[in-house]
Amino acid sequence: MTNRRLVKVITGVLILAVLLPVVLSIWLAHYQAQEIFTEELDDYADRVMMRTDKVLAQAKQAIKEIDAFQGAPCSPEHRMAMRRVSYSNRYIQEVLYLDNLTPQCSSLENHSRGGALPPPRRITPDGYRAWLTPQNDIGIKRLMGALGSDRHVVMIDPVSLIDVLPFGTWVIDVALINTDNNQVITSSAPFKPGAIAHIQRHHLTQLKFNGTLYNVKRYPELGVAIIARAPLAPLEKRWHRQMLIWLPFGLLMSLLLSGFLVHYLRRLQSPHYRMLDAINAREIEVYYQPIVTLGSGKIVGAEALTRWPQGDGSFLSPDMFIPLAEQTGLMPQLTTLVIEKVFEDLGDWLHQHPEQHVSINLNPGDLTSPDLPARLHEQLARWQIAPSQIALELTERGFADPTISAPAIAAFRKAGHAVYIDDFGTGYSSLSYLQNLDVDIIKIDKSFVSALEYKNVTPHIIEMAKTLGLAMVAEGIETEGQREWLRNHGVQFGQGWLYSKALPKEAFMAWAEENLRYPLTPALSPGERE
């Protein structure tokens, strides 16, 4: 992934880092509040279910006790036994003795006055008969539950099945529903028929309906459902309380994450990372400035110069980004890119013109690179170019330590490459290392060429080069007078705007081809020659 894409990704993540913890904290607050709310409602429904289990178990035990009586039916002893069973079991309201579904006597009456019971609405898996009936011996109009064997029936108040106190912090109501017809058997508060019908129709275990949460527990043995409900309004209050806990945490996480990402984003947008991205994306371009013979004006080669295009169409000066590359350790990558582009741009052209060369600027650190000689050899073989067609330029800083630079220069020259000293006279003491280094050409810095009229340093540089038998290239020639002076003083080659500025590859090759046909007279450009 390129640095530019990474910046876009990090920017997107930064937006999420600001929003997500806050949104997540709000969601967590709501989720936790709802979980607590739902768990309390479910817990209450479970406790009602446990009460129903307990009541049903007590009713079955009571039937077993009274069925064990061996005396005459409805005798004083029998009625006393029924009373003992009713009295000793708190959930049993009445015990009846039946003869073919018709009550004969009970724990309350010597002779039952009620009519025959209807066929049971359900038979439990263990053989007990179950009814829902308003029938009783004391004339109370109330629906009761009845559970019995062939001889005895115990009457149960349905309220006892749901008479469980809620432990929550809000009001919870519960109802016992006949699942056969959705009839409300008993309820702690009025229930909306629409909710019950919807629950039963879709066999739901939970429902939110008109601002109320319903929890459903079915009891198939009796054919009933236990429905607990609670209004949702308290949930909103609990949610707000939970937000007081979670929202500050979310804001803190948002600040920490966004701070980290902003720091990382600034790093990615720093000049170092922008340049690394430009190198990886191969956005750094190579321009070529012709080098000509001062006497004939004929091209002999070119210097490869880097250009970094910016988003606004301008170019960042090499004086700015080359030091940046040196300081941040990007020079090896930049040198590799320049070498690859030189061969990609001019490989075919150099093969067709074996007398031409291109000089490539190296950084002092490139001298010790173990990969550079192999990379040059590989490219030369691929494009079938002679080593002499690739010259290497080093600034005087590159020769600061002769113990390192001298062996490296010797190895490059042995491989067939010419070695230039770039910007000669602007760095270290020139004479001291020129005597110890085996180089081919010195390049006179343009600052000395510009000062020909009022400084006398340049003649000394020229004489020094002549004494050591070195060829010379003058940089920055802009006037005919400078060219004539340099040529008259023995400088062989030159480059500068008098001849041409640095050109992109297509423009350079066009300029060079015309120059080869018509060697340049400085007063005329190649396009002006016939």
Residue 213 phi, psi (nearest 5): -105, 125
Residue with tokens 């192999």: 374
Please report how the helices 505-517 and 331-352 are oriented relative to each other, as an axis angle in degrees rounded to 10: 40
State both tokens at 274. 């922008």
Task: Report the C-alpha dihedral over residues 399, 401, 405, 406, rounded to 10 degrees.
Answer: 100
- Cβ neighbours of residue 37 closer than 8 Å, sequence gap 6 or more: 170, 213, 230, 232, 234, 235, 238
**Cα within 13 Å of Cα(253), Cβ side:** 14
State both tokens at 66. 């009274």
DSSP per-residue letters across 210-274:
TTEEEEEEEETTTTEEEEEEEESHHHHHHHHHHHHHHHHHHHHHHHHHHHHHHHHHHHHTSHHHH
The per-residue pLDDT for range 155-195, each reduced to its tens digit, is: 999 999 998 887 766 788 999 999 888 888 899 888 877 88
Nearest CA-CA partner of 346 in 286, 294, 404, 395: 286
Of all residues in the chain, what percent carry a pLDDT higher than 90? 44
Which region holds residue 416: left if phi is over 0, alpha if psi is between -120 and 50, else beta?
Answer: left
Count, residues in the chain: 530
The per-residue pLDDT for range 151-166, each reduced to its tens digit, is: 999 999 999 999 888 7
Res. 388: pLDDT tops 90: yes
Instruction: Enumerate domains of the chain plus CATH numbers.
Output: 285-523 (3.20.20.450)
| Per-residue confidence (pLDDT) for residue 429, from 0 to 100 | 47
Mean pLDDT of the chain: 83
Measured distance CA(512)–CA(303) in Å, rounded: 13
Measured distance CA(369)–CA(376) in Å, rounded: 12
Higher-pLDDT residue of 437 and 344 is: 344
Mean pLDDT on 448-464? 80
